[in-house]
Amino acid sequence: MEQRVITILGCTASGKGTLARALAGPLNAEIVSVDSMKVYRGIDIGTAKPGPAERGQIPYHLVDVADPWEHFSVARFVTLADQAVTDIHSRGRPVVAVGGTLLYFKCLYQGIFAGPTADPAIRAEIRRRAAAEGLDKLHAELARVDPAAAERIHRNDLRRIERALEVHQLTGRPISALQQQWSSAEIRRPDWGWRLIGLRRARPDNNHRINERVRRMVAAGLVEEARRIWEDPRGVGDQARRAVGYAELFDCFAGRMSRDDAIERIKINTRGLAKQQRTWLKRLPEIRWIDVAETDPPETILARAQDLLACG
C-alpha cells in the first residue's frame, strides 16, 4: 500500500474531494491535487480548494504553488507532482491523487505529448485572427480540420484552439491523431502501483450538484474574491483568467454582462466542463467505477472505494 498512487477521478461536483479526504485518513496517505486552478494562490472559492482546517488534518501537495499572474504549464505540474509522490513514498505513505484537470492526470499517468515546437509567427497570426474574427470562427475552422479536437476543446479556450490549429499547420495532421498515437503507446511513468477509481453520477444529479455548488460559492463570497483578483495591480495571467467561475465574473466587471448573467453563465460553463470530462474519462478503461446514486451518503461511497482497493 505504501507505494500506491490511488487516483480519484470523475466530473466536477461528483464528490471526488470528499472521497479523497475520507480515504486518505485511514490510509495515513497524503493528497496530491491534480487541478490546474488550485495551484494558484487566492483562487480559492471557485475552485473548491480545501480550507486551512482540511489541509491541517491531511497534507496537500500542488495547492497554492503559483500566483495568478504566472503561467503554470502541464510540464511544471508533472515535475512538481513527481517530486511530491517520490517524497511521500520515501516517508512510507501512500498517495491519494484527486482533481478534475484530466490533461494533467493523463500526462502524470502516461507521459507528456510534446508535439512540434511552438511557432511564434503562427501563434501571432492565430491570435490576430481571434481578435479580428472571434473565437467562434477559429473553433469552426478547427472543427473542419480536426473534429475530434473541436469536440473536446471549448469554443472559448483560445490557448488549446491555438495549439491545435498550430499543430495542424506545422504537421498537416490533426493533433487528436497525434495524441491518439501517444495514448496507444501505453507508457506508464513510473510504475507507482496505480489504482484508478472513478465516481459516476447520473447527468441530472451531477448537473443539480453543479448548480447548487455555484450557489454555495456565490454565498461564500465568490464574486468578492474574483473582484480582488481582478483589481490586483499585478494583474492576472491568461491561464488563471480563463478559470470557470472567474472568467465569467471578469466579463461582468468589464461591463460585458450583468452579475446575474455571469452567475448563470458559470453554471452553464461548469456543466459544459463536466461534459468534456465525461468524454476524457471514457478513454481510460483502467478506471474502476463507482456508480453513485443521488441518495448515497458519503459513508456508502467510501465503503465501496475501500472494497475496490481491497480487491487489489
| Residue 252 CB neighbour total at 10 angstroms | 21
- SS3 category, 15: coil
CA-based nearest residue to 166, from 132, 141, 193, 191: 141
- Check whether 1 has a pLDDT greater than 60: no
- Check whether 115 has a pLDDT greater than 80: no
Q: What are 40's three cell numbers?
A: 494558484
Helices (H) and strands (E) in the chain, counts: 15, 6
CATH fold of 5-113+192-310: Rossmann fold (3.40.50)
What is the per-residue pLDDT across 32-60, written as a single tens digit (0 to 9) for each?
999 999 999 999 999 999 988 899 999 99
What is the per-residue pLDDT across 152-185, written as a single tens digit (0 to 9) for each?
898 888 988 999 998 888 778 888 877 665 554 4
Contact yes or no for 104/128 (Cβ under 8 A): no
- SS3 category, 138: helix
Q: What are 229's three cell numbers?
A: 483578483
Angstrom distance (rounded) from CA 59 to CA 42: 19
Pairing state between β 288-292 and 95-98: unpaired
Confidence band for 186, pLDDT divided at 50, 70 and 90: very low
What is the per-residue pLDDT across 130-148, written as a single tens digit (0 to 9) for each?
988 999 999 999 999 999 9
What is the per-residue pLDDT across 247-291, written as a single tens digit (0 to 9) for each?
999 999 999 999 999 999 999 999 999 998 998 898 888 999 999
Instruction: Look at residue 288 in the predicted model and tell me its pLDDT.
Output: 96
Domain ranges in the chain? 5-113+192-310, 120-183
As a whole-number percent, the residues of the chain with pLDDT over 90 amount to: 69
Is the CATH number 1.10.20.140 carried by domain 120-183? Answer: yes
CA dihedral in degrees (206, 211, 217, 219; nearest 10)? -140
Question: pTM of this prediction?
Answer: 0.81
Instruction: Look at residue 189 in the predicted model and tell me its pLDDT.
Output: 61
Angstrom distance (rounded) from CA 208 to CA 68: 29
Q: What are 234's three cell numbers?
A: 499585478
As a whole-number percent, the residues of the chain with pLDDT over 70 amount to: 94
| Residue 232 CB neighbour total at 10 angstroms | 13
Mean pLDDT of all residues in the chain?
A: 91
Instruction: Look at residue 110 in the predicted model and tell me its pLDDT.
Output: 82
| Residue 211 CB neighbour total at 10 angstroms | 17
Contact yes or no for 160/135 (Cβ under 8 A): no
